[in-house]
Amino acid sequence: MTTQTQHSALDVQLHVLSALILRDIRTRFGRTMWGYAIAVGWPSAHVCVLFTIMTIRHMPTPLGDSLILFVASGAVPFVTFTYSARKIMEATPSAKPLMSFPQVKYLDIILARGCVEFASAFMSASLIFLIMAAIGTDVIPQDPMRAVLAFLTTLFFGISTGVLCANITTFFPPFAMGFALFTILLYAMSGVFFTPEGLPPVFYNAMLYNPMANLIMAFRSAFYSGYGADGSLFYSFSVAMIFLLSGLALARFVTQRL
């Protein structure tokens, strides 16, 4: 009897999650594939704009011979983090009416949005590198495993940050604007379009406390041999885990009661 009850509860939970995922895709991207295609292609446009700006300014390539590979190796992790964190943070205000249903819990909404962002981030990154390969850029990383681990850790960090920020935004809505402004500052401090190793030691050591700087260095190190030895995936993963546990604790003891 207990086993049947558990299976029944799990089935209900899976149905709720799948329904929330479908609702999320249809309400955000429309009922046609073009809406979702735009969402997947938007990060590619971000990389193209950054590459165009650096090309117009005749900026030299800090690493290797390909400017677009250098730009992509920094922009892909940052865009993955920014989009996933922001979209998860925006999940709860738009889905607040759904919580009037007893089967729908606060964490179900966040988990559904996390699944959508995971798929979107993977397809966006794949599209960027496919476009680069189509124009003749060598996009095969020298260390594929490190590239995959760095990308997955970045996505986990973005989702964890989004979970924490979603709870804070629920009872303090102005935080969303503050987070948007903070990401602009983080963009300039994470080494997206420069190499932190060229900074004075005091600034370089300070940047190593920035999880995004570590993730970008780790992702780039997969493409450039001998680069990014100080980029720590373990440190970024630890910060992401702290954010996730803090967000889940807030959801359990504060946000859900509010």
Q: Are 240 and 255 in contact (CB under 8 A)?
A: no
Say whether pLDDT at 156 is over 90: yes
Say whether pLDDT at 214 is over 90: yes
Range with the poorest average pLDDT among 44-58, 64-78, 130-144, 194-208 = 44-58
**Rounded distance between C-alpha atoms, residue 28 and residue 245, angstroms:** 27
What's the burial of 201, exposed, middle or buried (CB within 10 Å: 0-12/13-18/19+)? exposed
User: Where do the domains of the chain lie?
Assistant: 2-255
CA-CA-CA-CA dihedral for 82, 115, 93, 18, to nearest 10: 170
- Over residues 48-70, the mean pLDDT reads 78
Please provide the size of the chain in residues.
Answer: 258
pLDDT digit string (tens) for 3-47?
555 556 667 767 777 777 777 777 766 666 666 677 677 777 777
Lookup: tokens for 255: 């946000």
pLDDT score for 125: 85
3-state secondary structure of 245: helix
**pLDDT band at residue 1 using 50, 70 and 90 as cut-offs:** very low
| Planar angle of CA 50, 52, 150, nearest 5 degrees | 35
Q: Are 179 and 89 in contact (CB under 8 A)?
A: yes
